[in-house]
Amino acid sequence: MGAHSKRAGSRCGRAMVLFAGLALVALMLVPAVPALAQVAPTINNVLPVRGPVNTPVTITGSNLGTNVPTSKVTFNGVAASPIFWNDTLIEVLVPAGATTGPVVVSTIFGDSNAVNFEVTSVPQPQQTWYLAEGSTAYGFDSYIMIQNTTPNDATVQITYNTSFGRIPRPGLVGVPASARVTLHVNSELPNMDFSTTLAASQPVVVERSMYWNNRIEGTESIGTTAPNKNWYLSEGYTDQGFQTYVLVQNPQTASTTVNITYMSSKGVVKKQPFTVGAGQRYTVDVNKDVPGAEVSTQVTADQDVVCERSMYWDNKRGGHDSIGVTQGSKSWYLAEGSTRWGYNTYVLIQNPTSNWANIDVSYDTAGGPQVKPRFMMPPQSRKTIYVNGDVPNTDTSIQVISDQDVIAERSMYWNNGTGRAGHETVGMPAPATSVFLAEGSTAWGFDTFVCIQNPNDVSVNVNVTFMTNSGAVLGPTVNIARGTRVTLHLNDIIPNVDVATKIQCNMPIMAERAMYWNNKGGGTSSIGWTQ
């Protein structure tokens, strides 16, 4: 036993001597590394040097170290949470509670030089936009387009409303004057259904587009600036392979109780009330509530909410989407429409009132207006008009006039040989002298058209301006005869660019935008924002 212990001790002694020798050799080989590391950090540049809380800031310098518990970045003494950190570059957001003062990087080897940063107040939003639909899950690719309608630079604070609650987007989005900016939501909010709230420092226009299955099809809609306790959606179908969903966004700080009434070909159907939490989004599967029917929808809530409707068909070969409206109107204008080129066009009318409605529908074609016979709609009902049967083989705009407050939408379907595609939009209750269209592209294989309707009794001259990511581009002046519609193919006017459009006239007009891709294998459309 004693001899065994002696041999073991001998082996341990030799191992310790060997380890000490190796350590000494290592120190002799790299004597400079610890010496270089023991240097206080130096800041060369801070960009920008002013901004509100949550502004992204880039710090460059030397010996900045790494993001370890013994290192920190402070704004006038308030610690920030870095997004990225290496020995020469730090990316950080201005922390909550920060005030104007020095930015300092601290490591175990000391504090850096100080660079002054001015913490400004957060701009009060002049306008807030809401988008109820959105998804980066299930193969969807979602984009948000922001069009700055002013000659001043705009900043936009974005909050995503999900089933898990609010998720603020870090930092502010800058939108230069008279320009358009596109956000790819998948790159910052992956694998999630969402709604969006956008608070802008200047008046802007916001739209959202979604694509799926290798961009086989897509949906698109303008947002709204006005949440409401009451919403109407005149389109909806739950038969022949169609799936219809109603999206409810609650941007408030308290939960809300929601009631839904369906006005369908099966009569009036009421859904059981449900709750949408504060800062959340809720999806209603209309097919489960009213299967096998044409369906219009009324949504009421005890808090101001936002509603959209999405429809898909043929196992998501096609789809379209539209924002709802908060009240009916006695007039509706739909600038786009065609019964040529293989298109099938429908007008969907909802009468949510307790009275019979007398409805007049007229079509503005290249040959002038065509007025159809008046018809009546029962209270709380929905009617579908097949436009091809009224005005075959023509491009047309559509007007709906009623003696009651109704809602009108238009849908179009076609097949380029790869399956049925389609797009859809709600109408506008009145023409306007300025119309803004935030979405549009003549790059990436897209074909973009702007349809301008002149409902006046005289011809008008319309001025067109394009807003790109590099600023405004002057477009053409277009003469439009009375009671007709003109279509602009933007690819022929401003090729190979993402583009928003501003349309101005001294007489009230209406405008929509339609986009197609894959040889019209897919398409979207939307009304414009009016001023």
Q: Which residues pair with 295 in a beta bridge?
A: 264
**Encoded tokens for 243:** 């799936």
The C-alpha atoms of residue 291 and residue 300 are separated, in whole angstroms, by: 21
CATH number for 72: 2.60.40.10
pLDDT at 425: 97
pLDDT at 55: 83
What size, in residues, is the chain?
A: 531
Question: 63 with 178, same domain?
Answer: no
Q: Would you list the DSSP string of 290-323? A: S-SSBEEEEEEEEEEEEEEEEEEETTTTEEEEEE
Any idea what DSSP says for residue 374?
Answer: P
Question: 189 with 106, same domain?
Answer: no
Question: 90 with 167, same domain?
Answer: no
Helix (H, G, I), strand (E, B) or coil at 367: coil
Q: Which structural domain range is residue 99 located in?
A: 36-119
The C-alpha atoms of residue 366 and residue 364 are separated, in whole angstroms, by: 7
The C-alpha atoms of residue 487 and residue 452 are separated, in whole angstroms, by: 6
Domain boundary among 93, 119, 145: 119
pLDDT at 1: 38
Q: Which residues contact 35 (CB under 8 A, 6 or more apart)?
A: none
Do strands 115-119 and 50-51 pair parallel, antiparallel, or not at all (unpaired)?
parallel
Amino acid at 152: N
pLDDT at 35: 43
Question: 380 with 409, same domain?
Answer: yes
Any idea what DSSP says for residue 293?
Answer: S
Report pLDDT digits (tens) over 331-360: 999 999 999 999 999 999 999 999 999 999
Name the residue among 334, 404, 339, 323 with its Cα closest to residue 362: 334
Question: 61 with 148, same domain?
Answer: no
Question: 41 with 179, same domain?
Answer: no
Question: 14 with 131, same domain?
Answer: no
pLDDT at 11: 32
**CB neighbourhood size of 382 (10 A):** 24
Question: 71 with 178, same domain?
Answer: no
Place of tokens 């240097």: 39
Name the residue among 462, 342, 333, 339 with its Cα closest to residue 394: 339
Q: Which residues contact 15 (CB under 8 A, 6 or more apart)?
A: none
The C-alpha atoms of residue 489 and residue 484 are separated, in whole angstroms, by: 17
The C-alpha atoms of residue 304 and residue 139 are separated, in whole angstroms, by: 30
pLDDT at 181: 96
The answer to whether the peptide bond before residue 48 is cis (omega within 30 degrees of 0) is yes
Question: 13 with 112, same domain?
Answer: no
Amino acid at 220: E
Domain boundary among 87, 119, 151: 119
pLDDT at 460: 97
As a dihedral over the C-alpha atoms of residue 453, residue 456, residue 459, residue 460, rounded to 10 degrees, the angle is: -70
Place of tokens 């219809």: 244
Name the residue among 295, 226, 248, 296 with its Cα closest to residue 134: 248
User: Which element (helix H / strand E) includes 9?
Assistant: helix 2-29
Q: Which residues contact 166 (CB under 8 A, 6 or more apart)?
A: 159, 160, 279
Any idea what DSSP says for residue 131?
Answer: E
Q: What is the pTM of this model?
A: 0.79
pLDDT at 124: 67
3-state secondary structure 116-127: EEEECCCCCCCE
Question: 136 with 114, same domain?
Answer: no
Residue 444 region, left (φ>0) first, then alpha (ψ -120 to 50), else beta? Answer: left
The C-alpha atoms of residue 111 and residue 312 are separated, in whole angstroms, by: 59
pLDDT at 123: 62
Question: 115 with 140, same domain?
Answer: no
- Contact assessment for residue 506 and residue 434, using Cβ atoms and an 8 Å cutoff: no
pLDDT at 122: 66
Q: Which residues contact 506 (CB under 8 A, 6 or more apart)?
A: 433, 460, 461
Place of tokens 């998501």: 316
As a dihedral over the C-alpha atoms of residue 390, residue 392, residue 394, residue 398, rounded to 10 degrees, the angle is: 20
Question: 57 with 13, same domain?
Answer: no
How many domains does the chain divide into?
3
**pLDDT < 70 positions in the chain:** 1-37, 122-124
Domain boundary among 86, 119, 152: 119
Place of tokens 């306007």: 432
